[in-house]
Structure 1
Amino acid sequence: MRVNLKNPVTNQFKQAKVGFSWTTFFFGLFPALFRGDWKWFFVMLVVNIILGVPTMGIGAGLVGIVFAFFYNKLYINDLLSKGWVPSDESSKSMLLSKGFTTR
Protein backbone atom coordinates (compact mmCIF):
# COMPACT_ATOMS: atom_id res chain seq x y z
CA MET A 1 0.00 0.00 0.00
CA ARG A 2 1.21 3.46 -0.84
CA VAL A 3 0.41 6.83 0.65
CA ASN A 4 0.72 10.18 -1.07
CA LEU A 5 2.54 12.85 0.89
CA LYS A 6 2.90 16.53 0.08
CA ASN A 7 5.31 19.16 1.33
CA PRO A 8 3.14 22.27 1.78
CA VAL A 9 6.15 24.61 1.61
CA THR A 10 7.69 23.36 -1.67
CA ASN A 11 4.59 21.66 -3.15
CA GLN A 12 6.60 18.47 -3.74
CA PHE A 13 4.79 15.12 -3.78
CA LYS A 14 6.13 11.74 -2.70
CA GLN A 15 4.66 8.29 -2.63
CA ALA A 16 5.76 6.16 0.29
CA LYS A 17 5.03 2.51 0.90
CA VAL A 18 3.49 1.45 4.18
CA GLY A 19 4.44 -1.87 5.72
CA PHE A 20 7.23 -4.33 5.00
CA SER A 21 10.08 -2.94 2.88
CA TRP A 22 10.91 -5.50 0.22
CA THR A 23 13.55 -3.21 -1.26
CA THR A 24 15.38 -3.02 2.07
CA PHE A 25 15.02 -6.79 2.43
CA PHE A 26 16.70 -7.44 -0.93
CA PHE A 27 19.06 -4.44 -1.25
CA GLY A 28 19.90 -3.52 2.35
CA LEU A 29 20.84 0.11 2.87
CA PHE A 30 20.60 1.17 -0.80
CA PRO A 31 16.90 2.18 -0.73
CA ALA A 32 17.72 4.71 2.00
CA LEU A 33 20.58 6.01 -0.14
CA PHE A 34 18.42 6.36 -3.26
CA ARG A 35 15.62 8.07 -1.29
CA GLY A 36 18.10 10.59 0.12
CA ASP A 37 17.38 9.40 3.64
CA TRP A 38 20.89 10.10 4.91
CA LYS A 39 20.21 9.55 8.60
CA TRP A 40 18.99 5.96 8.21
CA PHE A 41 21.51 5.24 5.47
CA PHE A 42 24.38 6.01 7.85
CA VAL A 43 22.72 4.19 10.76
CA MET A 44 22.35 1.06 8.62
CA LEU A 45 25.89 1.46 7.26
CA VAL A 46 27.42 1.67 10.75
CA VAL A 47 25.37 -1.29 12.02
CA ASN A 48 26.29 -3.29 8.89
CA ILE A 49 29.98 -2.60 9.47
CA ILE A 50 29.81 -3.36 13.20
CA LEU A 51 27.92 -6.64 12.72
CA GLY A 52 29.19 -7.60 9.27
CA VAL A 53 32.93 -7.46 9.75
CA PRO A 54 33.25 -9.92 12.65
CA THR A 55 30.71 -12.33 11.14
CA MET A 56 32.12 -12.18 7.58
CA GLY A 57 28.95 -10.59 6.18
CA ILE A 58 26.31 -12.77 7.82
CA GLY A 59 25.49 -10.08 10.40
CA ALA A 60 25.00 -7.51 7.62
CA GLY A 61 22.46 -9.77 5.96
CA LEU A 62 20.56 -10.12 9.21
CA VAL A 63 20.54 -6.33 9.61
CA GLY A 64 18.85 -6.04 6.20
CA ILE A 65 16.18 -8.51 7.25
CA VAL A 66 15.53 -6.74 10.56
CA PHE A 67 15.41 -3.25 9.03
CA ALA A 68 13.01 -4.47 6.33
CA PHE A 69 10.31 -4.86 8.95
CA PHE A 70 10.34 -1.24 10.10
CA TYR A 71 12.30 0.95 7.65
CA ASN A 72 9.21 2.26 5.80
CA LYS A 73 7.68 3.33 9.12
CA LEU A 74 10.88 5.15 10.09
CA TYR A 75 10.99 6.87 6.69
CA ILE A 76 7.36 8.04 6.85
CA ASN A 77 7.77 9.23 10.45
CA ASP A 78 10.80 11.29 9.39
CA LEU A 79 8.86 12.83 6.49
CA LEU A 80 5.91 13.67 8.75
CA SER A 81 8.21 15.24 11.34
CA LYS A 82 9.77 17.41 8.59
CA GLY A 83 6.36 18.87 7.76
CA TRP A 84 5.08 16.56 5.02
CA VAL A 85 1.32 15.95 5.16
CA PRO A 86 -0.99 13.44 3.51
CA SER A 87 -2.15 14.84 0.18
CA ASP A 88 -5.56 13.13 0.16
CA GLU A 89 -8.09 11.68 2.57
CA SER A 90 -7.35 8.04 1.71
CA SER A 91 -3.66 8.53 2.50
CA LYS A 92 -4.54 10.26 5.76
CA SER A 93 -6.93 7.51 6.82
CA MET A 94 -4.39 4.82 5.92
CA LEU A 95 -1.69 6.53 7.97
CA LEU A 96 -4.04 6.91 10.92
CA SER A 97 -5.06 3.26 10.71
CA LYS A 98 -1.40 2.21 10.77
CA GLY A 99 -0.66 4.28 13.87
CA PHE A 100 0.97 7.36 12.35
CA THR A 101 0.26 10.81 13.77
CA THR A 102 -0.81 13.33 11.12
CA ARG A 103 -1.71 16.98 11.43
Structure 2
Amino acid sequence: MAIEVNLEKYGHRKKGFLGFSWTSFFFGFFVPLIRGDFKWFLIFISPYLVIVILTLFSLTTRTYNEDIVTVFAIFSLILRLLTSLVFPFIYNSFYTKDLLKRGYLPPEDDDYSNAILKGNRYLEYTNKDLLDKEKMERYRLIIEQYEKERKNNNITLIIFFGSLIFIIVFFIFMASY
Protein backbone atom coordinates (compact mmCIF):
# COMPACT_ATOMS: atom_id res chain seq x y z
CA MET A 1 0.00 0.00 0.00
CA ALA A 2 1.38 3.40 -0.93
CA ILE A 3 1.70 6.13 1.68
CA GLU A 4 -0.51 9.15 0.98
CA VAL A 5 0.57 12.73 1.61
CA ASN A 6 -1.59 15.82 1.28
CA LEU A 7 -0.49 18.55 -1.08
CA GLU A 8 -2.13 21.83 -2.02
CA LYS A 9 -1.61 24.83 -4.22
CA TYR A 10 -3.84 27.92 -4.02
CA GLY A 11 -6.41 25.91 -2.07
CA HIS A 12 -6.52 23.11 -4.67
CA ARG A 13 -5.76 19.80 -2.93
CA LYS A 14 -4.12 16.73 -4.40
CA LYS A 15 -2.81 13.51 -2.96
CA GLY A 16 0.82 12.58 -3.39
CA PHE A 17 1.96 8.99 -2.97
CA LEU A 18 5.15 7.28 -1.87
CA GLY A 19 6.00 3.62 -2.29
CA PHE A 20 4.96 0.80 -4.57
CA SER A 21 1.89 1.54 -6.68
CA TRP A 22 -0.41 -1.47 -6.58
CA THR A 23 -2.93 0.42 -8.70
CA SER A 24 -0.45 0.90 -11.53
CA PHE A 25 0.62 -2.71 -11.17
CA PHE A 26 -2.94 -3.90 -11.77
CA PHE A 27 -4.36 -1.09 -13.94
CA GLY A 28 -1.27 0.13 -15.81
CA PHE A 29 -1.66 3.28 -17.88
CA PHE A 30 -5.16 4.01 -16.53
CA VAL A 31 -3.70 5.29 -13.23
CA PRO A 32 -1.88 8.33 -14.67
CA LEU A 33 -4.85 8.94 -16.96
CA ILE A 34 -7.27 9.06 -14.01
CA ARG A 35 -4.87 11.25 -12.01
CA GLY A 36 -4.63 13.67 -14.93
CA ASP A 37 -0.91 13.01 -15.29
CA PHE A 38 -0.73 13.04 -19.09
CA LYS A 39 3.08 12.99 -19.28
CA TRP A 40 3.25 9.67 -17.44
CA PHE A 41 0.19 8.40 -19.27
CA LEU A 42 2.10 8.83 -22.54
CA ILE A 43 5.19 7.21 -21.04
CA PHE A 44 3.11 4.25 -19.77
CA ILE A 45 1.22 3.76 -23.03
CA SER A 46 4.06 4.42 -25.50
CA PRO A 47 5.41 0.83 -25.47
CA TYR A 48 1.94 -0.43 -26.41
CA LEU A 49 1.58 2.15 -29.17
CA VAL A 50 4.97 1.21 -30.63
CA ILE A 51 4.02 -2.47 -30.63
CA VAL A 52 0.63 -1.80 -32.23
CA ILE A 53 2.15 0.41 -34.93
CA LEU A 54 4.90 -2.10 -35.73
CA THR A 55 2.44 -4.99 -35.80
CA LEU A 56 -0.02 -3.13 -38.02
CA PHE A 57 2.83 -2.11 -40.31
CA SER A 58 4.01 -5.70 -40.63
CA LEU A 59 0.45 -6.90 -41.32
CA THR A 60 -0.21 -4.32 -44.02
CA THR A 61 3.01 -4.78 -45.98
CA ARG A 62 2.90 -7.08 -48.97
CA THR A 63 5.67 -9.18 -47.52
CA TYR A 64 3.62 -10.57 -44.64
CA ASN A 65 5.76 -12.86 -42.57
CA GLU A 66 4.48 -14.90 -39.63
CA ASP A 67 7.92 -14.84 -38.05
CA ILE A 68 7.88 -11.03 -37.84
CA VAL A 69 4.44 -11.07 -36.19
CA THR A 70 5.66 -13.71 -33.74
CA VAL A 71 8.71 -11.61 -32.89
CA PHE A 72 6.46 -8.58 -32.31
CA ALA A 73 4.15 -10.65 -30.11
CA ILE A 74 7.06 -11.90 -28.00
CA PHE A 75 8.54 -8.40 -27.87
CA SER A 76 5.19 -6.96 -26.76
CA LEU A 77 4.85 -9.59 -24.04
CA ILE A 78 8.34 -8.85 -22.72
CA LEU A 79 7.68 -5.10 -22.88
CA ARG A 80 4.36 -5.55 -21.07
CA LEU A 81 6.05 -7.56 -18.32
CA LEU A 82 8.82 -4.98 -17.95
CA THR A 83 6.42 -2.05 -17.78
CA SER A 84 4.14 -3.81 -15.33
CA LEU A 85 7.10 -4.70 -13.10
CA VAL A 86 9.14 -1.48 -13.33
CA PHE A 87 6.60 1.35 -13.45
CA PRO A 88 4.78 0.47 -10.20
CA PHE A 89 8.05 0.85 -8.31
CA ILE A 90 8.84 4.31 -9.70
CA TYR A 91 5.55 5.93 -10.65
CA ASN A 92 4.37 7.23 -7.25
CA SER A 93 7.73 8.83 -6.56
CA PHE A 94 7.84 10.57 -9.93
CA TYR A 95 4.21 11.67 -9.64
CA THR A 96 4.77 13.23 -6.20
CA LYS A 97 8.03 14.90 -7.27
CA ASP A 98 6.24 16.35 -10.28
CA LEU A 99 3.48 17.78 -8.05
CA LEU A 100 6.13 19.36 -5.82
CA LYS A 101 7.88 20.88 -8.85
CA ARG A 102 4.56 22.36 -9.98
CA GLY A 103 4.25 24.14 -6.63
CA TYR A 104 2.06 21.79 -4.62
CA LEU A 105 3.20 21.75 -1.00
CA PRO A 106 1.95 20.07 2.16
CA PRO A 107 -0.20 22.29 4.38
CA GLU A 108 1.73 23.92 7.23
CA ASP A 109 -0.44 22.25 9.88
CA ASP A 110 -0.10 18.76 8.37
CA ASP A 111 2.81 17.33 10.36
CA TYR A 112 2.42 13.86 8.81
CA SER A 113 2.83 15.00 5.19
CA ASN A 114 5.63 17.42 6.08
CA ALA A 115 7.52 14.81 8.08
CA ILE A 116 7.23 12.14 5.39
CA LEU A 117 8.29 14.45 2.55
CA LYS A 118 11.12 16.07 4.50
CA GLY A 119 12.28 12.78 6.02
CA ASN A 120 12.52 11.21 2.55
CA ARG A 121 14.31 14.28 1.13
CA TYR A 122 11.51 15.36 -1.16
CA LEU A 123 11.57 18.71 0.67
CA GLU A 124 14.24 20.44 2.73
CA TYR A 125 13.90 21.15 6.43
CA THR A 126 13.55 24.87 7.09
CA ASN A 127 15.56 26.67 9.77
CA LYS A 128 12.29 27.15 11.65
CA ASP A 129 11.77 23.36 11.61
CA LEU A 130 15.31 22.65 12.80
CA LEU A 131 15.03 25.11 15.70
CA ASP A 132 11.70 23.71 16.90
CA LYS A 133 12.75 20.67 18.98
CA GLU A 134 9.17 19.60 19.68
CA LYS A 135 8.31 19.57 15.97
CA MET A 136 11.48 17.65 15.10
CA GLU A 137 10.59 15.04 17.72
CA ARG A 138 7.07 14.67 16.21
CA TYR A 139 8.65 14.35 12.76
CA ARG A 140 11.05 11.68 14.05
CA LEU A 141 8.18 9.62 15.48
CA ILE A 142 6.19 9.94 12.26
CA ILE A 143 9.19 8.89 10.18
CA GLU A 144 9.80 5.87 12.43
CA GLN A 145 6.18 4.80 11.94
CA TYR A 146 6.53 5.34 8.18
CA GLU A 147 9.66 3.16 8.11
CA LYS A 148 7.77 0.36 9.90
CA GLU A 149 4.92 0.59 7.37
CA ARG A 150 7.43 0.57 4.52
CA LYS A 151 9.10 -2.58 5.87
CA ASN A 152 5.70 -4.28 6.09
CA ASN A 153 4.98 -3.21 2.51
CA ASN A 154 8.32 -4.62 1.36
CA ILE A 155 7.55 -7.95 3.04
CA THR A 156 4.16 -8.00 1.31
CA LEU A 157 5.85 -7.33 -2.05
CA ILE A 158 8.38 -10.11 -1.51
CA ILE A 159 5.65 -12.58 -0.58
CA PHE A 160 3.46 -11.55 -3.53
CA PHE A 161 6.19 -11.71 -6.17
CA GLY A 162 7.72 -14.84 -4.64
CA SER A 163 4.33 -16.57 -4.81
CA LEU A 164 3.83 -15.36 -8.37
CA ILE A 165 7.21 -16.70 -9.45
CA PHE A 166 6.53 -20.00 -7.69
CA ILE A 167 3.19 -20.38 -9.48
CA ILE A 168 4.73 -19.58 -12.86
CA VAL A 169 7.60 -22.02 -12.32
CA PHE A 170 5.15 -24.67 -11.11
CA PHE A 171 2.99 -24.32 -14.25
CA ILE A 172 6.05 -24.38 -16.51
CA PHE A 173 7.26 -27.51 -14.73
CA MET A 174 3.82 -29.17 -15.02
CA ALA A 175 3.54 -28.20 -18.68
CA SER A 176 6.85 -29.85 -19.45
CA TYR A 177 5.42 -33.29 -18.66
- TM norm structure 1: 0.85
Tell me the matched-pair count: 101
What is residue 4 of structure 2 aligned with on the other side? 2
Assess if the C-alpha contact under 8 Å between 1:48 and 1:63 holds in 2.
no
Larger-Rg structure: 2
Question: Once the two structures are superposed, what CA deviation does each residue of 1:34-78 show, in whole Å capped at 9, x if it has no partner?
Answer: 000000100111134346862243412320210000100000011
Query: Percent identity at matched positions?
Result: 37
Q: In 2, Cα distance between the equivalents of 1:82 and 1:95?
A: 15
What is residue 39 of structure 2 aligned with on the other side? 39
1:13, distance to aligned residue in structure 2 (A): 1.2
**Which ranges of structure 2 fall in alignment gaps of 5 or more residues?**
56-71, 127-177
Higher helix share: 2
**RMSD across aligned positions (CA):** 2.0
Aligned pairs for 1:1-103 (under 5 A) are 1-7=3-9, 9=10, 11-50=11-50, 54=72, 55-87=75-107, 88-101=110-123
3-state SS, counterpart of residue 4 of structure 1: strand
Closer/same/farther in 2, CA of residues 51 and 74 from structure 1, 3 Å limit: farther
Higher relative contact order (CA 8 A, sep 6+): 1
- TM norm structure 2: 0.52
